[in-house]
């Protein structure tokens, strides 16, 4: 097995040293590493030059999909490994990847249980992915993928035509790709031993802006997709694995509506509200327990983001439906 590591770069000058050095350290004979610059305006290209990393400009549309495609279609190795420019691979990643790559078309790593900085919003976002990858998903295979550390056979990538460049920014281009891979008979194995440390930090406002855009993009995708791709993934998991999240999206609004009705003078509204709260809490109990266990007080504060995050899903989906009705597909 040989691999081309592709790292899309866009104004990531402050993280590149921490990202590339662990990757370069473990490359084997026949492996290559390639940075694809997506029109950076900071010192990213200069930092890459100092690191001795081959760097090419993105020839695709601006955004994650076009940048990854530029690197992916240049690959001449058996495998392509996509790594984000703010994701630090763990020691031993190369051997662990090779061990997992036998007999499958793609390999997915997981986020670390640890999160950078001190923000509860950052911990919530990163730990949500860690919890989903390691506890909600009942491996060994994963329906979706996250391209922060995602390896795929080069022939499979090229046959599928890479990522859909109509998808702007960095939202659900990976979900679209993984569903096409599965529809073609491929499988993505999850590698929980490859814990990747994510360097991105979020404020509360940044977190909810990101979540809104992601939820809206996902809803638009589900509306425009066809049956040839099989059952849609929800987040990076399958539908059944995400029932706690889906039920929470519904019952969190039962909680709010019941509370409003009670405040307006309808006595039974309090029982409706409590029912919504209890069902939502029950569905998220595992996440809360493990977040506090692994994150302590920071994890406890992160749990405060659960209900507001769930409340975003319905209006984001409604906004996507309105956009779709008026002709928007992406």
pLDDT for position 143: 87
* Domains defined along the chain, listed by start: 3-202 (3.90.550.10)
Across 235-263, average pLDDT: 88
CA gap 287, 168 in Å, rounded: 30
CA gap 327, 320 in Å, rounded: 11
**Is 85 a residue whose pLDDT tops 80?**
yes
Least-confidence region, from 165-169, 254-258, 322-326? 165-169
**Is 195 a residue whose pLDDT tops 80?**
yes
pLDDT for position 45: 98
Pick from 243, 203, 219, 175: which is nearest to 313 by CA?
A: 219
Q: pLDDT > 70: what percent of the chain?
A: 96
Across 123-131, average pLDDT: 96
Kindly write down the DSSP assignment for every residue of 9-26, as one continuous string: ESS-TTTHHHHHHHHHHT
Pick from 69, 67, 88: which is nearest to 10 by CA?
A: 67
CA gap 330, 83 in Å, rounded: 24
- At 144, the pLDDT band (50, 70, 90 cuts) reads confident
Across 183-193, average pLDDT: 94
Burial class (CB in 10 A: 0-12, 13-18, 19+), 68: buried
Q: Report pTM.
A: 0.93
- At 235, the pLDDT band (50, 70, 90 cuts) reads low
Of 232 and 195, the structure prediction assigns the larger pLDDT to 195
pLDDT for position 242: 78
pLDDT for position 170: 78
**Is 233 a residue whose pLDDT tops 90?**
no
Residue count of the chain? 330
CA gap 242, 129 in Å, rounded: 12
**Is 228 a residue whose pLDDT tops 70?**
no
Per-residue pLDDT of 58-67, as tens digits, reads 999 999 999 9
Q: What is the CA radius of gyration of the chain?
A: 21
- At 34, the pLDDT band (50, 70, 90 cuts) reads very high
Across 4-29, average pLDDT: 98
């Amino acid at each position: 097995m040989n691999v081309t590591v592709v790292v899309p770069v866009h104004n990531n000058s402050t993280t590149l040293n921490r990202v590339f050095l662990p990757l370069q350290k473990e490359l084997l004979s026949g492996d290559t590493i390639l940075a694809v610059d997506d029109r950076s305006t900071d010192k990213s290209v200069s930092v890459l030059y100092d690191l001795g990393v081959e760097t090419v400009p993105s020839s695709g549309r601006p955004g994650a999909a076009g940048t990854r495609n530029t690197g992916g279609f240049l690959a001449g190795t058996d495998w392509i490994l996509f790594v984000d420019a703010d994701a630090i691979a763990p020691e031993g990643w190369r051997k662990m990847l090779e061990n997992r790559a036998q007999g499958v078309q793609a390999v997915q790593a997981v986020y670390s249980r640890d999160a950078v900085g001190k923000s509860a919003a950052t911990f919530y976002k990163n730990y949500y992915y860690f919890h989903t990858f390691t506890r909600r998903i009942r491996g060994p295979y994963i329906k979706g993928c996250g391209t922060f550390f995602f390896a795929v056979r080069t022939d499979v990538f090229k046959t599928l035509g890479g990522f859909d460049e109509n998808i702007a920014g960095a939202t659900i281009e990976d979900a679209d790709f993984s569903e096409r891979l599965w529809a073609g008979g491929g499988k993505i194995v999850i590698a929980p031993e490859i814990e990747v440390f994510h360097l991105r930090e979020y404020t509360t406002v940044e977190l909810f802006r990101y979540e809104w855009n992601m939820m809206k993009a996902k809803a638009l995708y589900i509306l425009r997709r066809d049956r040839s791709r099989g059952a849609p993934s929800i987040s990076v998991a399958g539908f059944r694995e995400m029932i706690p999240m889906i039920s929470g999206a519904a019952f969190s609004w039962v909680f709010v509506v019941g509370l409003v009705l009670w405040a307006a003078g309808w006595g039974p509204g309090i029982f409706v509200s409590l029912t919504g709260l209890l069902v939502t809490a029950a569905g998220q109990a595992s996440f809360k327990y493990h977040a506090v266990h692994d994150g302590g007080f920071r994890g406890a504060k992160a749990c405060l983001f659960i209900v507001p995050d769930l409340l975003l899903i319905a209006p984001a989906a409604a906004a996507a439906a309105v956009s779709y009705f008026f002709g928007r597909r992406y």
